[in-house]
Amino acid sequence: MGSIFNFEKFAENLGKVCQCYCYQCSQKTTWKFGKLTEWARLFSFKTIPFRKEYFVFCEPCGDDHELDSYEFKRIESIVKSLGSIDDTNVKEELFNRIHKSQLENTCTSPQEWNQISDKEPS
């Protein structure tokens, strides 16, 4: 028995956001942003936008980080008028968070973890 709902995902690449350091790539890379919309198709005649996700990702390695809709709109309007978020405090805020989460995710051994943080390994 199948579900009456079918889910379809559409990913949209919205282009360049800025140049910034990526810890996965260990170099400065191009970051882009995108939108992922998940549609629920009911009985194949009605589609409902089920969920929208916004994200920024590193172009070479594809490491992606979610944005809330407020952040997304801010970034989108800056990119439209300035071409990128380079030299804005939006970039600083965003990459503070991205770098923190990259470091948390890439450091799997307690030794590495201790080098970048004072936290006790559990």
Footprint of Zn ion on this chain (CB under 5 A)? 22, 24-25, 58, 61
Length of the chain: 122
In angstroms, what is the minimal distance from the CB of 58 to Zn ion? Answer: 3
Name the residue nearer to Zn ion (CB basis): 28 or 51.
28
Name the residue nearer to Zn ion (CB basis): 16 or 41.
16
**C-alpha separations of 1 from 15, 48, 100 in Å:** 41, 22, 44
Angle, vertex CA 76, rays to CA 86 and CA 13, nearest 5: 95
Name the residue nearer to Zn ion (CB basis): 8 or 104.
104
In angstroms, what is the minimal distance from the CB of 65 to Zn ion? Answer: 11
In angstroms, what is the minimal distance from the CB of 3 to Zn ion? Answer: 36
Sheet bearing 27-42, strands edge to edge: 5-22, 27-42, 46-58, 64-67
